[in-house]
Amino acid sequence: MSLHGGRIWERDDPRSWLDFSANINPWGPPAFAVEAAREALQWADRYPDGESRALRSALMEATGHDFRGIVVGNGAGDLIRALFASLRPRRFLTVEPTFAEYGDVARSLEIPVVSFRLKAEDAFAFPVDALCGAVGEGDLVLACQPNNPTGRAWALAELESLLAATIARGASLVVDECFFNLTVPHPGSLPKGPWPEGLFLLRAFTKDFSLPGLRVGYLLTSSRGAAIVRAFLQPWPINCVGEAAALACAERGVPFIEACRLRLAEARRRLTEGLAARGFHVFPGAANYLLCRSPLEGESLEKKLAPFRILIRRCHTFPGLDDGFIRLAVRSEEENGRLLAALDGLNLPG
């Protein structure tokens, strides 16, 4: 199993940490979502609706997508596994570095992984032509939008090229949009025209509504694609509390997200400036997290920030990155200020 962010549970007094390693909206969860979850506890003695009809209806309303093409799962992680296990692609085409879970799942299912290296000297630009040229029949291509950990978003035109190539060759394209609502500027979403067979958009309530503890994600795809993935999931993929919170977010979440995106853009700008002034090179990106080259090795920085109970994400576990790279979530103005103040006390080189 790869290292993931948010590993506070391996620390002493885990809930006291200020966690810059998990990329969660710092202004959530919204009260209406927690209240809906609380009320749903009265139904804990009933099986949830395994088909999640209420939630899928609300998602249909919110997205305009066909009800039959919506699949709900126990967080994006549940759906990533179900995608690979049910589609059983011939090969998995990916870029590196990216979210490690995709490749871990592919390898656990003995699906060959073909990866294209992103380079720091190119600002981690996507090798779209190489990817398009490599796609073959039965392959699965996955684009993390924006990419994790680099923070760079795929241009819509790049995704359109990928989609055209995958459709033309009889392959599948999965776009992981779990950070999508916290991406500024907003990159837009596929497809332009009618929904093509083989396209899957993966979303979650984890990051944008700050509900990683409740585990609800969903796929938008064709009704045929939905039936294939759903058949792999268990009869009751999400619980009553997660469903209620997600339903509230789907029905009432837009103003909350809009307000958070505005604050996030400003908080990101200021955190980026603050880090640059302290010797960090921050790579350009659009996400609610920043990939940085640190003036201190990640291991050393992590140790020095521990007395402040601040947790960062070292990136040496990502292919192509070494321990000079760290990833920092953009948190609230006050929390980012605490990080910058802690860095000021470290006597960083340069």
Residues that bind a copy of itself (CB under 8 A): 1, 4-6, 8-9, 14-15, 19, 22, 24, 28-29, 33-34, 37-38, 40-41, 43-51, 53, 74-75, 77-78, 80-81, 85, 101, 108, 210-215, 231-232, 234-242, 245
Rounded least distance, CB 51 to a copy of itself, Å? 7
Rounded least distance, CB 254 to a copy of itself, Å? 20
Instruction: Give which of 254, 76, 94 is closest to 176, Cα–Cα.
Output: 76
Rounded least distance, CB 235 to a copy of itself, Å? 5
User: In whole angstroms, what separates CA 176 from the centre of its chain?
Assistant: 7
Rounded least distance, CB 124 to a copy of itself, Å? 24
How many other CB atoms are found less than 10 A from the CB of residue 34? Answer: 19
Instruction: Report d(CA 212, CA 262) in Å as an integer.
Output: 22
CB distance 109 to 60 below 8 Å: no
The answer, yes or no, to whether the previous bond of 97 is cis (omega within 30 of 0) is yes
| Residue placing its CB nearer to a copy of itself in the complex, 25 or 150 | 25
| Residue placing its CB nearer to a copy of itself in the complex, 249 or 291 | 249
Q: How many residues does the chain have?
A: 350
Rounded least distance, CB 54 to a copy of itself, Å? 9
| Residue placing its CB nearer to a copy of itself in the complex, 13 or 121 | 13
Burial 249-277 (b: 16+ CB within 10 A, else e): bbbebeebbeebbeebbebbeebbebbee
| Residue placing its CB nearer to a copy of itself in the complex, 85 or 340 | 85
Rounded least distance, CB 286 to a copy of itself, Å? 23
| Residue placing its CB nearer to a copy of itself in the complex, 81 or 91 | 81
| Residue placing its CB nearer to a copy of itself in the complex, 2 or 300 | 2
| Residue placing its CB nearer to a copy of itself in the complex, 38 or 119 | 38
| Residue placing its CB nearer to a copy of itself in the complex, 185 or 235 | 235
Rounded least distance, CB 94 to a copy of itself, Å? 18
Rounded least distance, CB 76 to a copy of itself, Å? 9
